[in-house]
Amino acid sequence: MDVALTPEQEELVATVTALLSKESTAERVRAAEPLGFDDDLWRKLLPLELVAMALPESAGGYGGMFEDLVLVCEQLGRRLAPVPLIETIVTARVAAAAGEAGQGIVAGALERDARPLATALRPAQEGRAVLVPAGAVAPIVVGLDGDDLVAVESEPPLDAPPNLGCLPLADRDLRAEPRAVLASGADAVALHDRAVQEWKLLTAAALVGLSAEALDMGVRAYGDRGRASPRLRSGVGRRRRSCRSGRAGVDGVRLRGGERATDVDLEPPLPWWLRVHARVRHPAVLPPREGMGARV
């Protein structure tokens, strides 16, 4: 597998990184809590046309590769960017795959002042989708209600239940009006399964970026402490070796994620993404007993 980025991918990563480094600082991320949404950052991401890149040319997009989306989402994770770009991309893609029934959603997602979109990961129970990612800020929610894949538009609550990640989660009513049926029967289930699988892969990419940044911070922190206090050099050396070992593990996960990104139809869907971060040794990076901590 060729793991080198193309010049176009390098330019894409550099562009996204430059924007997030400036606009998704620790202070901005904290200020977006507890809802977990920075509307100003969202509006500054829109001109990059990342959603258009995610859509096929037949739907008005640029027909970018899925691997490009993985690279973008890794940078989102590195900066803990408080914007529902993953959910918007996934929802726009499932709407495009639905054909004519989803054209309105796709057209809205490509507008310069587009609002976030959301997809309910679990089938609705009695018409209610529970804890929809980005459901607190997205006017349009797509979800599986019985045998139908539906899209419902309503004003988002702009309020999320308390959660560890300060994510814009919310329950949404999938039987509210206006309501459109995007697909029914086996087609509806297949489209929803694909959307969930893509959400998992892009979220996994963001977590890889988060893990990599946490470990890089650990390496930098222990390097600074070792120079500041010669008495700490022995312990710092051990910690830095541990950080580098964990970083190598993250790089391995990135390669596996890249392999998955080349074929998002692989079954079973992404069994590794929930397990990998338990193996990344964040406690070894910044142990709380030394006055520093890393919580992921």
Tokens of 15: 């562009």
- Residue 203 in any domain: the answer is yes
Tokens of 228: 């500041």
Q: In 10 A of CB 184, how many CB atoms?
A: 14
- Residue 115 in any domain: the answer is no
Parent domain of 268: 196-290
- Residue 256 in any domain: the answer is yes
Among 75, 193, 90, which residue's Cα sits nearest to residue 138? Answer: 90
How high is the mean pLDDT of the chain?
82
Amino acid code (one letter) for 149 = L
- Residue 13 in any domain: the answer is no
Task: Give the tens place of pLDDT for each residue, 235-272.
Answer: 545 555 554 554 454 455 455 555 555 445 433 344 33
- Residue 34 in any domain: the answer is no
Among 157, 132, 138, which residue's Cα sits nearest to residue 51? Answer: 138
**Mean predicted confidence (pLDDT) in 35-45:** 97
3-state secondary structure of 114: coil
Task: Give the tens place of pLDDT for each residue, 148-198.
Answer: 999 999 999 999 999 988 999 999 999 999 999 999 999 999 999 999 999
Task: Give the tens place of pLDDT for each residue, 82-117.
Answer: 999 999 999 999 999 999 999 999 999 999 999 999
**Mean predicted confidence (pLDDT) in 27-42:** 96
pTM value? 0.81
- Residue 189 in any domain: the answer is no
- Residue 206 in any domain: the answer is yes
Cα atoms found within 13 Å of the Cα of residue 292, Cβ hemisphere only: 16
How many domains is the chain partitioned into structurally?
Answer: 1
- Residue 141 in any domain: the answer is no
Question: Is the confidence at residue 131, as pLDDT, over 70?
Answer: yes
Tokens of 11: 């330019």
Amino acid code (one letter) for 107 = A
Task: Give the tens place of pLDDT for each residue, 80-90.
Answer: 999 999 999 99
